[in-house]
Amino acid sequence: MLITAFDLSARPLLIKTSEKYIQITQSSLGEIHMRDMTCSHRGGPLTHGVEVNGVITCPWHRLRTEACKLKTLAIPYVRHRNYLWIGLDTFERVIPNA
């Protein structure tokens, strides 16, 4: 497992691993939430899709996914000040403007 640090000031944060797009958000209470934002059809980034009435349309092939059905991920992490240290099996990059 690779431990990687991410700056929480970039919100929301979108991380690309070899298998999925992970969106990390922080609630107003400071709680960290991680969701799998990978389209089940061809693996596109749902964060770049359009959401209308709780349904996200994938930007790649227009498959629609209900936002409430996206998986919440239980990835180990440690928060220190404005950084989040996350344990990931694979990490490719941070995607800006998610």
- Reduced to 3 DSSP states, what percent helix, strand and coil does the chain have, rounded to the nearest 5? 5, 45, 45
Residue 22, pLDDT above cutoff 60? yes
Choice among 1-10, 56-65, 67-76 with the minimum mean pLDDT: 1-10
> Which tokens sit at 31?
């709680």
pLDDT at 64: 92
pLDDT at 57: 93
pTM of the model: 0.84
At residue 97 the predicted structure's pLDDT band, cuts being 50, 70 and 90, is low
At residue 98 the predicted structure's pLDDT band, cuts being 50, 70 and 90, is low
β-pairing, 64-66 vs 55-57, is: antiparallel
Mean pLDDT taken over the chain: 89
> Which tokens sit at 4?
């990687």
